[in-house]
Amino acid sequence: DILINDIFLEKDPFGNLNTISLDLIIKNNSKKDFSTFDIALVNDLHSSYNPSIFTDYKNSLAMKTIKKGENVSGILSFSVDNPKRSHWLVFYDKRTHKPLAKISVDNAKKDLNIQDFTKKKHKRKKV
């Protein structure tokens, strides 16, 4: 089970406004452990983006393993080519690399009532 609590756009370490950060709650109800390297953000052109390791959030999920039955919450950030495109958060099977779950980021924006994603500014607590 995956819940997207918030979505925000940030600058990458080079000053480009192209990093999509997702505040997530993940309940691993599967029978498998997976790491954040098994998660990607995929756009409507099928380009895939792995979680960024350039995050300075105290509750970052980057480089973590989520064990079966474990509940975790935190932030995953993805540096993308074009943040205005449609994106899906995809969880892959570690062994076969087949998608296990696919969550629409655009639907989450609608649910969270985010009108203009590229202009939304958040003040997040960093480390």
List, for residues 44-58, the tens digit of each pLDDT value.
Answer: 999 999 998 877 677
pLDDT, tens digit, for every residue of 66-87? 999 999 999 999 999 999 999 9
pTM for the structure as a whole: 0.85
The percentage of the chain sitting over the pLDDT mark of 90, rounded to a whole number, equals 57
Instruction: Count other Cβ atoms within 10 Å, centred on residue 54.
Output: 12
Asked if 83 and 109 touch (Cβ cutoff 8 Å), the reply is no
Rounded CA gap, 35 and 122, in Å?
27
């599967």: which residue's tokens?
30
The encoded tokens of residue 62 equal 């980057």
Distance separating alpha carbons of residues 27 and 68, to the nearest angstrom: 9
Query: Are 63 and 12 contacting, i.e. CB atoms less than 8 angstroms apart?
Result: no
